[in-house]
Amino acid sequence: MFRLTAREERWPIAGAFIIARGSKTEAHVIVVEIVDGPYVGRGEATPYPRYGESVASSLSGIESVRDAMEAGADRLALQALLPPGAARNALDCALWDLEAKRAGVRAWTLAGRSSLDPVETCYTLSLAPAEEMADAARASAHRPMLKLKIGAADHLDRVAAVREAAPKARLVVDANEALSFEDLKRIAPEFARLGVMLIEQPLKAGEDEALEGFDSAVALCADESLHTRAELAVCARRYQCVNIKLDKTGGLTEALALHAAAKDLGLGIMAGCMVATSLAMAPAIIIAQGAEVVDLDGPLLLARDRDPGLTFVGSIIEPPPAALWG
């Protein structure tokens, strides 16, 4: 008989995290623990209002499956018990952690890997006036890859300012659904000229049909448009890359299946995250293996991280210690 606990935690962000649809100064996460005798499996997830989630609704979702989980429901059963989202992610990752500890192996072994390699993450620059983003880029110019949040206006000025301040960095631009198709057609060639390697979710999810047949000067990556394998076939007609986030897939189990299916379709992989602690990033490092773009900088954006956490050496993330997860 397992014992399940779930709680909210708040982690202050260093400054503020600002994107096209709003800003926040704290990361509100949920943490699940599943106890089986001496073994404790943990998982962390971030409920996202854009997807109709809140901390309260996610905790309620976890509570709705308490009996099944405490009776021993496994990861496969969980997929049918809850829809994709933060609640299922926290539970799924806790089950991976628990299974690894009970088996005396690392979680990546259960996922079919003999080891994990360190990965190199983007570092995110919040949306701000061009001058402020240039200052932030200058302070982070030593990092090999920067991810810029942009909005619906003055996007070219912001990208140009960052490029001048960090001339050697690879650039990813994240529009968070803020552009129109006319915007995209106009600015994609300019972004290409500025050395942008990827544009993430330029148009609103569900309103991105115009991307079918569009020959973009910069590769496009689906984020809000892609949660699970259910949306993959459509996204493959509109995007060249997909951002896999465990909070969207509802955990590592579906994320691994989505990763394999996306690779089979020839799509590039971006391993992404919400702003959260190292406990949320750790399972995503399995998805990040071999990914074209890794964006697992959540802990770097916090005022403090949990201890033990991941080890960051500049922008390099070492595999997670067993004391953290997996």
Q: What is the radius of gyration, based on Cα positions, of the chain?
A: 19
Q: What is the mean pLDDT of residues 6-15?
A: 96
Helix (H, G, I), strand (E, B) or coil at 119: strand
H/E segment holding residue 140: none
Per-residue model confidence as pLDDT tens digits over 211-249: 999 999 999 999 999 999 999 999 999 999 999 999 999
Pairing of strands 39-45, 22-36: antiparallel
Percent of the chain past pLDDT 90, that is, above it, reads 95
Contact 311, 318 (CB under 8 A): yes
Condensed to tens digits (0 to 9), the pLDDT of residues 107-155 reads: 999 999 999 999 999 999 999 999 999 999 999 999 999 999 998 677 8
**Both tokens of residue 101?**
């500890």
Question: DSSP letter at 225?
Answer: T
Portion of the chain with pLDDT greater than 70, in percent: 99
76 class by beta-carbon count within 10 Å (0-12 exposed, 13-18 middle, 19+ buried): exposed
* Nearest of 154, 259, 170 to residue 218 by alpha carbon: 170
| 123-125 vs 119-120, strand pairing mode | unpaired
Label residue 17 by pLDDT band (50, 70, 90). confident
- The predicted-structure confidence for 73-89, as pLDDT tens digits, reads as follows 999 999 999 999 999 99
The DSSP output letter for 58 is: H
What pLDDT, in 10s, does the model give residues 279-318?
999 999 999 999 999 999 999 999 999 999 999 999 999 9
6: nearest Cα among 49, 58, 71, 67: 58
Lookup: tokens for 75: 């990861």
Name the average pLDDT for the chain: 96
pLDDT above 70 for 11: yes
The count of residues in the chain is 326
The tens digit of pLDDT for each residue in 240-265 reads 999 999 999 999 999 999 999 999 99
Question: For the chain, which domains are there?
Answer: 3-110 (3.30.390.10), 119-317 (3.20.20.120)
d(CA 272, CA 258): 13
Q: pLDDT: is 154 or 177 the higher one? A: 177
Model pTM score? 0.96
| Residue 41 in this model has a pLDDT that exceeds 90 | yes
Q: For residue 234, give every residue at least 6 positions away whose Cβ sits within 8 Å of its Cβ, in sequence order, or none.
A: 225
Round to whole Å and give the CA distance between 133 and 310: 27
